Amino acid sequence: MRKDSAIYVAGHRGLVGSAIVRNLNAQGYTNLLLRTRAELDLMDQAAVASFFHENMPKFVILAAARVGGILANSTYPADFIRENLLIQNNVIDLAYRVGVSRLLFLGSSCIYPKLAPQPMKENALLTGSLEPTNRPYALAKIAGIEMCWSYNRQFGTRFLAAMPTNMYGPNDNFDLQSSHVLPALIRKVVEAKFLGQGTVVVWGSGNPLREFLYSDDLAEACTFLLNLSDAKFDELLGETDPPLINIGVGEDVSIRELAQIVCEVLGFEGTLEFDTSKPDGAPRKLMDVSRINALGWKAHTSLREGILLSYESARRAGVFS
């Protein structure tokens, strides 16, 4: 990417999109195209077409999506499949129609089968049954990968799907009704500390193993991928396999360990209680990140450091007041 290339970051106010914008700004990219959902509803095909034809982006990072944790996914399954399919269909198709040079489609590790061999390699895609609680979301994302691959084969586009593991960081969603596990734990611990409560209740058994990537590390990986040489980028697109690359840390922790780390970092000395009536989800979800590591990129923010940065940014934004 040249420093003045027109780069469209879809979803630039979200956890992922805002980190990507911070990274691009810090690296001196000067021509970012940014629209809120109120300015451009990506489910509106005509509006997306006008936007692309008027602005002619050269690079697209698709970080706009309907996203949420187990509760949101199981309460609104129809919204999750419909909104994600519409957003990605419109953006991927218009990117092809205006001749975008490279597109990065962001998915998630839930595209892999519930019982995929660990760590999960890119070739685990479609080798088994999905975790039922977020199947509609996962299927939409799988359709997005297939769409990138199909457009690459039929039209010669360079569309790559990047699958990040669980993420956290500034601008995360701390609403307990729809948040992911780590921001939910941060909020619960902050509130318990403030209210002087002795116990924090954690959903599930605490046994599942999960991996957590700090959003600024992911953003760095996205810029790194979009800046690969044509030869290396095309190698990732391949022909016989989907154009897919995992982005993660390569290490996981149990939810119990994670909750303990949150308590330590935020200085909460009470106890943890595990509500086993709540679902656990998949037993383990660890990404195999050997592909991106071999290209020369590695995550570097530690969990403790990231949790503190994430908490401080939410506190400054008034999330806990």
8, 137, 151, 214: which one is catalytic?
137
**Footprint on residues 86-115 left by ligand NAP (CB under 6 A):** 87, 106-108
Nearest CB to ligand NAP, comparing residues 187 and 192? 187
Residue 119 CB contacts under 8 Å (≥ 6 apart), including other chains:
250, 286, 287, 288, 289
State the minimum distance, in angstroms, from the CB of residue 192 to ligand NAP: 23
Q: Please name the residue ranges forming H helices in 14-117.
A: 15-26, 45-55, 70-75, 77-97
Residue 168 is among the residues annotated as catalytic for this protein: no
Min dist CB 299 to ligand NAP, Å, is 13
Closest distance to ligand NAP from the beta carbon of 125 (Å): 15
When the beta carbons of 145 and 192 are compared against ligand NAP, the nearer one is 145
- Establish if 145 lies at the interface with ligand NAP (CB under 6 A): no
- The CA distance from 274 to 202, in Å, is 5
* Backbone φ, ψ for residue 151 (5° rounding): -65, -40
Total site size for ligand NAP, rule CB under 6 A: 25
CB 89 within 8 A of CB 35: no
Alpha-helical runs (H) found in the chain:
15-26, 45-55, 70-75, 77-97, 135-155, 181-195, 215-226, 230-237, 255-266, 290-295, 303-316
- Which residues, in sequence order, are bridge partners of residue 9? 61
Helix axes 15-26, 215-226, angle to 10 degrees: 60
Which residue's CB atom is positioned nearest to ligand NAP?
A: 14
| Residue among 92, 20, 89, 95 nearest 58 (CA) | 95
**Contact predicate 221/19, CB 8 Å:** no
- In the bound complex, what is the minimum distance in angstroms from residue 168's beta carbon to ligand NAP? 7
Q: Least distance in Å: CB of 13 to ligand NAP?
A: 4
Name which position in 7, 8, 9, 17 contacts ligand NAP (CB under 6 A).
17
Span interacting with ligand NAP, options 95-103, 166-174, 291-299, 312-320, rule CB under 6 A? 166-174
Q: Interaction with ligand NAP in 34-63: which residues (CB under 6 A)?
A: 36-37, 41-43, 63
Between vectors from CA 220 to CA 210 and to CA 258, what angle results, nearest 5°? 20
Which of 180, 188, 210, 284 contacts ligand NAP by CB under 6 A?
180
| 13: contact with ligand NAP by CB under 6 A | yes
148 binds ligand NAP (CB under 6 A): no
Residues that bind ligand NAP (CB under 6 A): 11, 13-17, 36-37, 41-43, 63-67, 87, 106-108, 164, 166-167, 173, 180
Active site residues: 137
